[in-house]
Structure 1
Amino acid sequence: MRTRVRYGMLALVFVNVVINYLDRTNLAVAASSLSKDLQLDKVEMGLIFSAFGWAYALLQVPGGLLADRVVPRVLYAACLITWSLATIGQGFVRGFAGLFALRVATGTFEAPSYPINNRVVTSWFPEHERASSIALYVSGQFIGLAFLTPVLVTLQVYAGWQGLFVVTGLAGIIWGVVWYFFYRDPLDHPSVSDAELTYIEDGGGLFRGRKKAGTSVWSWHNLRQVFRNRTLWGVYIGQFAVNATLWFFLTWFPTYLVEYRGLSFIKSGYLASVPFLSACAGLLLSGFLSDHFTRKGISVSIARKTPIIAGLLLSVSIVGANYTDDTAMIIFYMALAFFGSGMALISWVFVSILSPKHLIGLTGGVFNFMGNLASIVVPIVIGFLAKDGDFKPALVFIGALGLAGACSYIFLVGKIERVNVQEEPVAVA
C-alpha cells in the first residue's frame, strides 16, 4: 500500500516558511512606530530593511552548500532557533547600529532555509508533483502573513513593537524543536512504505545516491558551471524581478499605506492582508496549473514558463496605484500586482529541473542569491525615491523590474532540460 508521508513532510516545511516570513516582515509592521522611537529617517530605514538582505543574499551559496552537506532535520532546526534568538534581540535594541546588526544576524541564519526547502521537496516528490508542492510550501509566506498581519498589528498595539519581536522569536524557537522531532528524510522515515518510495523515485525524486553528509560539492569549477549557463541566467534575472515586488510588500508596503495614503495603523494592517491573499491565490493557481499542463503532455518549457511570464507581466499593474486616490482601487492594483508576483514564484521548480543532480543545493543557493539581491537593492532604492514622501517613482521602479523579468524568461530562458556539467579537469602528474 502506498503511503502519503510526503504530504506530512510538506506540511512541516509549510510551517517553516510561515515562521521564516514572520521574522522577515515583523520589522515592516513595527517600522512606523519603531522609526519614531529610535529617530530613524527613511533613508536609515531603507538601510535597516536591506540589512537582512545583505547577509541573506551573500550567504546563499554557502547556504546551498550546507544544504547539500547537512541533513535537513539538523540544519533547519539549528537555523530556526538561531534566527529566532536574533529576532528576540531586536525587541531590546536602542539605535540604528544594534538593529542593523541583528537584522544581519537574522539574514545570516535564514540563508540556508530555501535551499533546504528545495532539497526536501526534490527528495520527497516526483517531478510531476514538484510545481504544486513548491506552490504549497511557498504559499506559507502569503497565507501566514495574510492571516497573521492583523494579529501582529494588534499585538503591537497592546505589547509595543518590542513585544512583537519577542513573541515572533519565541514562536520560532518552539517550532525549531518540533521540526527536529518530526522531520525525517525519505529513507529514514519509519512510516513511509516501499510503494511510496518507488513512486517518488520512478517520478524523478532524488533521495538515493546523494552525496553523504559531510562530503562537499564545492569547487570553483562547479560554481562556474552554475554561472555560465544562459538558461540559468534567465531564471536568475527573472527571480530578481519576482523578488523586487515581494520585497516592496515585505518592507515598505505598510509605511506606504500609513504615511503616504493616510490610513490608520489598524486599518492598514487589515487591508495589507488582501494583497498577500491574492499572492497566495496566484501562487497556488500557477503551481497546480503548471503541473496539470505537465500531466497533459504539454512541453515542460510551456508548462513551467507560461505562468511565470504571465505573472511577471501582471505585476507591472502596481503602477496603476499611482493614478488613483480611491483606497479600494489602490488595494485592487496592489492585489493584482502581487497576484502576478505570486504566480511567478513557482520559479523554484527550475532549480529542481535544471540543476545538475549533485549540485541542487549549490544551484539553489546561486539562484536564491541572485533573486535576493532584490532584498538589498529594492529597500534602499525605495528609501531614496520616497525620502520626500512621494512613493510614485518607487512603484514605477517596481513595475519596470517586473517587465524586465518577463523579458528575461521570454528571450533568455530556452529549452528546459537538466544542465550537463562538464567533468572537472584532472591534473596530470
Structure 2
Amino acid sequence: MKYAEEQPLPAGTPAWSQSEKRTKVRYAVLSMLLIATILNYVDRSALGIVAPSLSKDLGLNKMQMGELFAAFGLAYSIALVPGGVLTDVLGSRLAYALSLVGWSFATLTQGFANGYHMLLGSRLAMGALETPAFPSNTRAVTLWFPVQERGFATSVYVMGQYIGTPLFTGLLLWISSMYGWRTVFFVTGGFGILFSALWYRTYRDPARHRAVNAAELQHINGGVTPASRKPRDKFNWRMALKLLGYRQILAICLGKFCNNTLLVFFTTWFMTYLVEARHMSMIKVGIFQALPFLGATVGILSAGFISDFCIRRGVSVSAARKAPLIVGTLLGASIVLVNFVESNELVIAVLTVAFFAQGVGSMSWAAVAEIAPRQYVGLTSSITSLAANIAGVTTPLMIGYITQHTGHFYWALNLMGAICLVGTLSYSVLLGKLSRIELE
C-alpha cells in the first residue's frame, strides 16, 4: 500500500553531515497536532458550552439534549474504522486536511439550526468527519518521534482535549451572552476551516520534509534509515478482525471505553451539571469549569513525562506505559465523591482530581503506538478509538435518561465510578505485556 503524499525528495538533494546539529522539526509538527486537537475538542464541546441557553431557546428537554450529544459519538464510532483506513491510504497530510475542513463546516452549520433535527444532522456529520483526526495524530507521532519520546509527544497532542475548554470557554460564554449562542458555532467552525489550509500547506512526513536533516531522521528512526524498513503490505479489510483477535488490543479497547466515559461527561453534561445540579451562576461556572480541565492537562503531561523518563532510566516500555493507565483509571472512580460533599469548592476539587486521573489514563494512546503493526497504525488507532468513543454514545444517553427520570445526577455519577473500576481491571489483568504486534 502506498501513501498518497508528495514524492520523496529528488536525487541530488544535498546530504547533511552526520556531525551537523540535529534539526527539531518534529516539535513544530507536534505543535500543529496540538492546535488541531484543540480545535477538534472545542468544536465538539461547543454544544455543551451553550447547552443551557440553546436548549431553552429551542425548547429541548434532557433526553433530546442527551440524544444530540450521543449523535456525535454514534457517527464517530461508526466512521472510525473507515477514518483510520483513510489515514493509512492518504497519509496524515491529506486525511487531516479533509477532516479539518469537513468537521469545521459541520460545526458552523449548527449556528443555523432552528430545531432538534437540524442540530441532529450537524452533529452526525461532525462525528463522521472528525474520525481521521486521532489516527492521523498517532500516525504522525509514530513517524516523527523515536520510542523514547513518544510518550511525551502523545501527551502533548492529547493535552489538546483538555486545554481548549479552560482557554476558550470563558470567551465562548461571553460571545454567547453578547451575540447569541449561534455565533459560537460560526466562530469555532470558521477557525477550523482556516487551519485546515495551513495544515495542508505545511505538513509533510519526515522523509519528505525539506527542513529535516539526516541527523534528525536518524534520531527519529533509531539509526535505521526509512528505506531499510519492511515494505508496507497491501491493505486488507480482514486485518481489522485479525487485530481484534489480539489480547492487547481488546484490553486497550475496554480500558479506553471506561476511561473515556469521564471525558465525555466533562465535554457534554458538565456545564449543565454545574448550572442545574450545583446551582452555580454563569460567572462562577466561567471560573470553576476551567479547574478540572487544567487538572486533566497536568495529568496527561505528567504521565507522558514520567513514562518517558522511566524508559530512559531502564524501566521496560511495557511497565512504563501500563502504570499510568492503571493508576489513572482507578483514581478516576473518585468522581463518585461529589455525591457526598455540599460545598461547591469541594465539588470542583473532587472533579479536578477525577479529571486529572482521566488525563493520566489517556496515556493509552502511547500504548497503542507501541503495539500497533507499523503498516496498520491508522487502522489500529481507529479500532481502539472506536471502542473509546462508544462512550460518546452511551454516556450522554445514560446521563440524559437518568437525570430525566430521577431529576438529579446521583446515580449517573455512581455508574461512571463503577465503569472506571472495570477499566482498571482491564488494564491490570487483561492487558498483559505490551509489545509490537508482528503480523504473519
TM-score with structure 1 setting the length: 0.95
Give, in whole Å, the separation in 2 of the partners of 1:171 and 1:205.
38
Partner of 1:419 in structure 2?
Answer: 437
The answer to whether the 8 Å contact 2:166/2:289 transfers is yes
Correspondent of 1:233 among 243, 250, 267: 250
Code of the residue aligned with 1:343 in structure 2: it is V
Partner of 1:425 in structure 2?
Answer: none
SS in 2 for 1:217: coil
- Is 1:146 matched up with 2:166? yes
The answer to whether the 8 Å contact 2:111/2:185 transfers is yes
Matches within 5 A, 1:219-368: 219-220=237-238, 222-368=239-385
Give, in whole Å, the separation in 2 of the partners of 1:205 and 1:41.
58
Unpaired runs of 5+ in structure 1? 423-429
Q: Deviations over 1:141-183 (max 9, x none)?
A: 2112111111111111111110011010111011111111211
Offset of 1:269 from its aligned partner?
2.3
SS in 1 for 2:437: coil
Q: Deviations over 1:273-308 (max 9, x none)?
A: 100000000100000000011111112221111111
The answer to whether the 8 Å contact 2:80/2:128 transfers is no
Matches within 5 A, 1:359-398: 359-387=376-404, 388-398=406-416
Correspondent of 1:16 among 27, 36, 45: 36
Partner of 1:200 in structure 2?
Answer: 220
Give, in whole Å, the separation in 2 of the partners of 1:216 and 1:55.
27
Partner of 1:403 in structure 2?
Answer: 421
Correspondent of 1:171 among 173, 186, 191: 191
Offset of 1:206 from its aligned partner?
7.2
- Is 1:90 matched up with 2:107? no
SS in 2 for 1:228: coil
Q: 1:116 to 1:260 in 2, by over 3 A?
A: same
Give, in whole Å, the separation in 2 of the partners of 1:205 and 1:35.
56
Give, in whole Å, the separation in 2 of the partners of 1:386 and 1:87.
27
Give, in whole Å, the separation in 1 of the partners of 2:342 and 2:142.
46
Code of the residue aligned with 2:185 in structure 1: it is F
Partner of 1:181 in structure 2?
Answer: 201
Offset of 1:324 from its aligned partner?
1.1
Correspondent of 1:57 among 73, 77, 80: 77
Q: Deviations over 1:347-388 (max 9, x none)?
A: 011221111221111111101001100000000011011114
Code of the residue aligned with 1:108 in structure 2: it is A
Q: Deviations over 1:371-424 (max 9, x none)?
A: 1000000000110111142101111111111111111011101111112323xx
Q: Deviations over 1:213-245 (max 9, x none)?
A: xx852322x122210111211111000011100
Partner of 2:64 in structure 1?
Answer: 44
Q: 1:211 to 1:325 in 2, by over 3 A?
A: farther
Give, in whole Å, the separation in 1 of the partners of 2:207 and 2:194.
26
Superposition misfits of 4+ residues, deviation over 6 angstroms:
203-208
Partner of 2:153 in structure 1?
Answer: 133
Unpaired runs of 5+ in structure 2? 1-20
How many percent identity over aligned positions?
40
TM-score with structure 2 setting the length: 0.93
Give, in whole Å, the separation in 1 of the partners of 2:177 and 2:228.
50
- Is 1:101 matched up with 2:121? yes
RMSD of Structure 2 on Structure 1 (CA): 1.5
Q: 1:171 to 1:204 in 2, by over 3 A?
A: farther
Give, in whole Å, the separation in 1 of the partners of 2:205 and 2:159.
22
Give, in whole Å, the separation in 2 of the partners of 1:205 and 1:21.
36
Partner of 2:18 in structure 1?
Answer: none
